[in-house]
Amino acid sequence: MLDLDYFKQINDRFGHNCGDRVLQEVAAVLRSALRDDDLVVRLGGEEFAVLLPSATARVTMDIAGRLARMIGDIKLPDDDGNDAMISVTVSIGVTIGGDVGEGEIDLPTALLIADRALYQAKQGGRNRIIYADPTLPTAMMMPSAPPPPASPDGSREV
């Protein structure tokens, strides 16, 4: 799973047309960097899933690193024609599925584990890759969530 860092700020600062161009460029990078049998899906907003059939953990991490570098190299002019004004970084949560150790990790479970790793990448400062080993029990645990935001009167909803 990968999520573009601070994408809302791109939309807010440069406008939704520029944000759409960033998404199109990221999609083009993902398609060009992967094998024919790999699958890229936009899940919504600025979040994508990349499925790499038969890739090992090491290969998956190598590909994630390459994708992060390629996305980080994206530089687009804004709508005013300024060069290299828009750039983007990405946070990535990685795991593997299928036959793993003595069990099998199905696709919904692998996506859940990768999503939790993505959450950890975001919480850890963004612009990073976190691998979650699906054979470890901790991969199934949700990281501690921050407390809910305080309401204007200072109380917290639970």
Give SS3 for 148: coil
Q: 119: closest CA among 105, 134, 137, 139?
A: 139
Q: What pairs with residue 86 in β-bridges?
A: 76
* Spatial distance between the Cα atoms of 113 and 141, rounded to a whole number of angstroms: 9
46 classed as catalytic: yes
Catalytic site residue from 25, 46, 47, 104: 46
Give SS3 for 104: strand
Please give the helix or strand (H or E) that residue 88 lies within, else none: none
Catalogue the active-site residues.
46
